[in-house]
Chains A and B, each alone.
Chain A
Amino acid sequence: MTDTLKITNLHVAVEGKEILRGVDLTLRRGETHALMGPNGSGKSTLGLAIMGHPNYEIVDGTIELNGENITEWEPHERARAGVFMAFQRPMSIPGVKMADFLRHATTNVRRPERKEDEELLPMREFRKELYEKMDQLKINRDFARRYVNDGFSGGEMKRAEILQMAMLRPKFAILDETDSGLDVDAVKLASQSIAEIGRSKMGILIITHHDKLLEHNRPDVTHVMLGGRIVETGGAELAIEMHKHGYDRVRREHPEDAAVENEMKKEEAAV
């Protein structure tokens, strides 16, 4: 059976305000989906909710992994089950070396049953693999000794996220604006990396409003979000259309969702 990540009728609220209003999405391992939509339409919220962010309250609906309901799972349990998210704004952890952080993360994800006081992956073995991946991604090995995302440039952070994905080998990866802040070459490299990790081995959800990353990772399915719902789903051509012509057509054809979008924008402006 193909691994499947299934989102059903997901309603998510932040500080009591509903941001997602019933999202359905099924991602199978081996597929690449694009998630597009204007700013504030709820794309990142969906990603963060799938990853279990504590501030994103799931009011209704379910997230299922291979038929198992993971809606209430802790983020680390989701990560260990094979769900990964490359964050738009990764956090820096001063004083913690990238290599130490990743060794801990990699051990936990590869040995999901590991208890807190059990051994980590052997240092030598881990370092060898880490260096291989870094070389592949053309990341300077000094990175391993730097503190996690501390003082990293925007591009360095994004590449560090890709590196983490490469080490953790997830079943499902959500890439939230991984292409923003990267120049053309870096996007190419990131795409190659994704290809090398194996598109066929992952279900990928690419959140973007550019097409740079999509050029190299042609989506099998494109979703367009508006006002907290997925209003259209299509093939690669839908992504191309959105990129070329913007969201006006979608807004015209989905006036109710466009009205919600307006409402949300007004509220945000008022705050």
Chain B
Amino acid sequence: MTATITQVGFSQESFDAFLAARDEPQWLLDLRRQCWDAYTALPMPGGRDEEWMRTDIRLFRLDKFAVPGDLPADAVCPPAQLSEGVELAGQATTLNSRSLFAQLDPKWAAKGVLFGSLEEIVREHGELIRPHLMTRAVDPRKDKFAALHGAFWTGGFVLYVPKGVAVAEPFHMLSAMTDGGVDLGHALVILEDGAEATALAETASDSETATGLHCGAIELIVGREARLRYVNLQDWGHGVWHFAQQNALVDRDASIQWTIGALGSRLAKVNQHVALVGLGAEAQVNGVVFTEGKQHLSYHTLQHHRAANCRSDLLYKGGLQDKSRFVWRGMIKVDPAAQKTDGYQRNDNLMLSTDARSDSIPGLEIEADDVRCTHGSTSGRVDDELIYYAQARGLTRNEAVRLVVTGFFQQVFDRITIESVREALGHAIRRRVREVE
């Protein structure tokens, strides 16, 4: 096991010490060094950058955090929400970026499936991982946070499904964090041609008010004719800074259904990109967002059509309460080669308070001439007449509001094919909704 490092901040010294203590293949150490160089060269993003102009991180102090060290003596792993009552093919948990445990049903191991801690599996199966790790999906030079992640990532998860293997039961991954902790986890999913799998990933803090830093990445590599259903539920404590690059590559005739739940964190700045790189690839992206208090969640989605005859369909639904803010910046990008593209994106937001604010900015960038791309966005408040109608049927105002909010999210729940996910998200939202002003 890796030696423990307790260094303050992310400095050259702490990086050198970190690197010296890693027991990793040379190529990975080299990759970390390149990322560290990129990190030192890149500026901290700010209000002048198009992507960050709506997301103010001036209060963020990176020097308050450090490379994850020993777990606090009283560390408790919060419970998972997505796996209850679900028969799983595998299960893995990290706490503060440290692998707590991982297990894989032997019947799938026998078929060549790999599942568990990325930092452990990369040591044994480096050559399998190497072509995919931050080479094709996530670019660790994208910005300072991506580079920091590339240099310092620890723990993490990997799911590898060999060619033609279809795993019936879902895999479950929990990234947990203690109050004030740091998570630099990386999730890598590789489905070889014709493989099928479902993965349920979630994040959690040990309390709703917990602070911390998550600087992470998700890479989903979906081979030809492969099928992936991926869920990530972000439910960090409301003091957590959340920076993430989450990218999928979908090859010929393959499909992905990607559902994100965005509930937690103090501030989130996430890039969720889906690249359709092979003919006939398909992506369905579902977003369930609920913000409250002073949360600021910013999700930048990209549906990148790089090959012809691909379909992408994105629906993000947001509920905003209190003084929270949700930014959605969506882009459908169609390369010149991507003829016969069918692209759709939509974001609907329900404002539950007059102090909440949503920025919903759809965009199209189309370089092919035979495509169909449409987008839409709405933002509205809960209709008082609707509340009255439900009240006239015996529902209290609270019940009426919850009902209307539940109904609002139903359209996206209808698209989510995994019951435990629908239930967990529905429950979380119902629990959060308070009386509307």
Contacts and interface: CB of A to CB of B under 8 A. Distances in A.
Interface of A: 51-55, 74-76, 78-80, 84-85, 87, 90-91, 93-96, 101-102, 104-106, 108-109, 116, 147, 164, 168
B390 to A, nearest CB: 7
A54 B388 contact: yes
B394 A93 contact: no
A51 B392 contact: yes
B406 A95 contact: yes
Nearest to A112: B394
Given A104-B403, A116-B399, A91 B383 contact: yes
Given A96-B406, A105-B395, A116-B399, 6 more contacts: A54-B388, A55-B384, A74-B397, A76-B394, A79-B393, A108-B395
Given A54-B384, A76-B396, A76-B397, A93 B391 contact: no
B108 interface: no
A49 to B, nearest CB: 12
A216 B46 CA distance: 73
B386 interface: yes
Interface stretch (B145-153, B157-165, B277-285, B407-415): B407-415
B392 A75 contact: yes
B364 interface: no
A51 B392 CA distance: 7
Given A74-B391, A79-B394, A105-B395, A91 B403 contact: no
A104 B395 contact: yes
A91 B389 CA distance: 7
Given A95-B406, A96-B410, A101 B393 contact: yes
Contacts of A79: 391-394
A152 B183 CA distance: 50
A213 to B, nearest CB: 20
A95 B391 contact: no
Given A101-B403, A104-B399, A95 B410 contact: yes
A116 B396 contact: yes
B393 to A, nearest CB: 4
A104 to B, nearest CB: 6
Nearest to A90: B389
Interface string B401-437: 0011011111100000000000000000000000000
B376 to A, nearest CB: 15
B74 interface: no
A54 B403 CA distance: 19
A94 B412 CA distance: 12
B50 interface: no
B411 A95 contact: yes
14 contacts: A75-B392, A76-B392, A76-B395, A79-B391, A79-B393, A93-B407, A95-B411, A96-B404, A96-B407, A101-B390, A102-B393, A104-B399, A109-B393, A116-B398
Interface in B152-195: none
B49 interface: no
Given A54-B388, A104-B399, A95 B409 contact: yes
Q: Which of A53, A55, A95, A168 has the most CB of B within 10 A?
A: A95
B63 interface: no
A10 to B, nearest CB: 18
A234 B355 CA distance: 54
A168 B410 contact: no
A145 B391 CA distance: 21
A213 B51 CA distance: 62
A224 B26 CA distance: 92
B16 interface: no
Q: Which of B391, B394, B403 has the most CB of A within 10 A?
A: B394
Contacts of A101: 390, 393, 403
A144 to B, nearest CB: 15
Contacts of A54: 384, 388
Chain A's interface: helix, strand, loop or mixed, by majority? Answer: mixed
Contact of A93 (B384, B392, B397, B403): B403
Contact of B407 (A84, A102, A109, A147): A147
B318 to A, nearest CB: 15
Contacts of B397: 74, 76
A55 to B, nearest CB: 8
Q: Which of A55, A74, A79 has the most CB of B within 10 A?
A: A79
A113 to B, nearest CB: 12
Nearest to B407: A95
Q: Which of A76, A80, A91, A102 has the most CB of B within 10 A?
A: A76
Contacts of A55: 384
A135 B407 CA distance: 26
A93 B386 contact: yes
A271 B281 CA distance: 56
Nearest to A170: B394
A44 B307 CA distance: 59
Contacts of A90: 389
B430 to A, nearest CB: 10
A253 B172 CA distance: 79
Contacts of A78: 392
B410 to A, nearest CB: 3
Given A93-B404, A108-B394, A116-B398, A87 B389 contact: yes
Give me the 7 closest cross-chain CB pairs, A-B, nearest first.
Answer: A95-B407, A95-B410, A108-B394, A75-B391, A105-B393, A96-B407, A79-B394
A91 B384 CA distance: 10
Contacts of B386: 91, 93
A235 B288 CA distance: 58
Nearest to A93: B407
B407 A80 contact: no
A52 B396 CA distance: 13
B382 to A, nearest CB: 11
A242 to B, nearest CB: 28
A125 to B, nearest CB: 18
A210 to B, nearest CB: 24
Contacts of B396: 74, 76, 108, 116
A94 B392 CA distance: 18
Given A104-B403, A147-B407, A93 B398 contact: no
B389 A94 contact: no
